[in-house]
Amino acid sequence: MITTDILIIGAGPTGLFTVFEAGLLKLKCHLIDALPQPGGQCSEIYPKKPIYDIPAYPEILAGDLTHKLMEQIKQFEPGFTLGERADTIDKQDDGTFIVTTNKGTKHHAKIVAIAGGLGSFEPRKPLIPNIADFEDKGVEYIIKEPELYRDKKVVISGGGDSALDWAIFLSDVASEVTLIHRRNEFRGALDSVEKAQELKNLGKINIITPAEVKGIIGTDKVTGVAVEKKGEDAFIIDTDHFIPLFGLSPKLGPIGNWGLEIEKNAIKVNNALDYQTNIPGIYAIGDVNTYPGKLKLILCGFHEATLMCQSAYKRIFPDKKYVMKYTTVGGVQGFDGTKKEAPKAVVKAIQ
């Protein structure tokens, strides 16, 4: 059985930063994530997309943010159970918890912090009869590695930010990009719509509206898609890849059966104090929680993780008084023996 102070369910940015804040309090952390690598959505869904609202980073790729967070917490030696889903939780007589994964791995912790983002994700698939036959054979619902499309013909379907952003990005990677949307109007950011229009005028993106992909052509792999454009006969577009980007459907999964108070697929917490749930000792931070005024932003998750760790310390050590020290003053003492601190001023008498 794996034993730790804080068991973090979800190894996305909020979960990873929790390790750092807990480490400053000398609390050990272990993380569970159903994905095979840390980073959550940043690693699995959009590793190559830029993020613009991380403090001190005018722009940082999602995958690079994960790398930086992993580098920041290395000194606190967190444990990881990856590729497994937190399945059941049992509260012990002493107030601690045992969490068991779908593969039977047991974890014993004093505190449980649910940082599972929006939960597990399932792509919203278009109603095309034979689409399942071509999954991973030219049909992809998530773009993980843009280089896969180098010098290939690509058809993207969708009308939101993701469809627009990837059509724009792949215009410099793929040999041909076609964007298909069932309406003339797109739901994306204005600058993205204008950029897509500009690329269309330059002949770098084909935009077909209002239209829908109704069928996939091919035997062992995708070779084309059948398109129906309003008011016209159906036609076929030759392509190597068909990427329907209609969003992802989040699901809480087994956590939804843990007796937590749920509201609109999110976990209700006490945001006036410490983001604790209706079960003492279980917290929810990041996109997985909800409270009045909630904003689903990574930087808000960082803030919630910080306050949660302070509360967790008081719960674990009720008789100890913790005096917060700024890292600029006290430095950072890692569990691996490292010490990071600002150089001390040299005091020398004037002769």
Residue 343 has pLDDT above 80, yes or no: no
Q: What is the pLDDT of residues 96-119, one digit of tens each?
A: 999 999 999 999 999 999 998 766
pLDDT of residue 45: 67
- Among left, alpha and beta (phi > 0; psi -120 to 50; other), residue 77 is left
pLDDT of residue 346: 63
Q: Which residues are annotated as a binding site for FAD?
A: 14, 33, 41, 46, 86, 121, 287, 328
Per-residue confidence band for 337, with pLDDT thresholds at 50, 70 and 90: confident
Q: Which distant-in-sequence residues (6+ apart) come within 8 Å of 34 by Cβ?
A: 83, 84, 85, 120
Residue 29 has pLDDT above 80, yes or no: yes
pLDDT of residue 212: 95
Per-residue confidence band for 95, with pLDDT thresholds at 50, 70 and 90: very high
pLDDT of residue 351: 59
pLDDT of residue 42: 80
Q: Which distant-in-sequence residues (6+ apart) come within 8 Å of 21 by Cβ?
A: 305, 306, 309
111: amino acid identity, one letter = I
More confident residue, 302 or 44: 302
Mean pLDDT of 190-210: 94
45-to-27, 39, 40, 248 alpha-carbon distances in Å: 30, 10, 8, 10
Residue whose entry in the numeric block shows the structure tokens 């930086």:
68
pLDDT of residue 41: 77
Q: Which residues are annotated as a binding site?
A: 14, 33, 41, 46, 86, 121, 287, 328
Locate 226 and state its tokens: 């059948």
Domains of the chain, start order: 2-121+249-340 (3.50.50.60), 125-246 (3.50.50.60)
pLDDT of residue 171: 95
Q: What is the mean pLDDT of the chain?
A: 90
Give CA–CA dist 327/14, Å, rounded: 19
In eight-state DSSP terms, residue 128 is: -
* pTM assigned to the model: 0.71
Give CA–CA dist 173/175, Å, rounded: 7
Residue whose entry in the numeric block shows the structure tokens 């008081």:
314
Residue 350 has pLDDT above 70, yes or no: no
Which residues are registered as beta bridge partners of 102?
A: none
Strands 2-9 and 29-33, how do they pair?
parallel
Residue-by-residue DSSP string for 156-217: EE-SSHHHHHHHHHHTTTSSEEEEE-SSSS--S-HHHHHHHHHHHHTTS-EEE-SEEEEEEE
Per-residue confidence band for 325, with pLDDT thresholds at 50, 70 and 90: confident
pLDDT of residue 245: 92
Mean pLDDT of 48-77: 92
pLDDT of residue 324: 77
